[in-house]
Amino acid sequence: MAVLRALWQPGTWWPSWLGLSAGLFLLREVWALASGRPQDTLSYWVWRILAITQNEPLADWNATDYLVCGCWLVLVSWLTFHLFGRRFA
């Protein structure tokens, strides 16, 4: 527990680890796309699991699609205002 408290104090290394993790993830995704294997990316897996098709009209969405889209929009807007506008703490 003391380790977790130390990691989240100001001036520690957690932003570096977060950036490194995000960078390695994006490197793997770009590598899969560049090598011609789009089926090895996370986005391909998500699209396959949620059964999303290209150019699908909104009228064909089911309740799960609307719920996932709504949660995503709320999360993105909250993070944007929280991180850049210093609101909605």
Position 50 scores a pLDDT of: 74
Cα Dmax for the chain: 51
Q: Is the pLDDT of residue 20 over 80?
A: yes
Alpha helices in 8-62 (DSSP H): 14-34, 42-49
Taking the mean position of all CA atoms in its chain, how far away is CA 88? Answer: 20
pLDDT tens digits along 25-77:
999 999 988 998 888 888 888 878 877 777 778 788 888 888 988 998 999 98
pLDDT of residue 89: 58
Top-confidence residue, 15 or 65: 65
- Identify the residue with better confidence: 6 or 28: 28
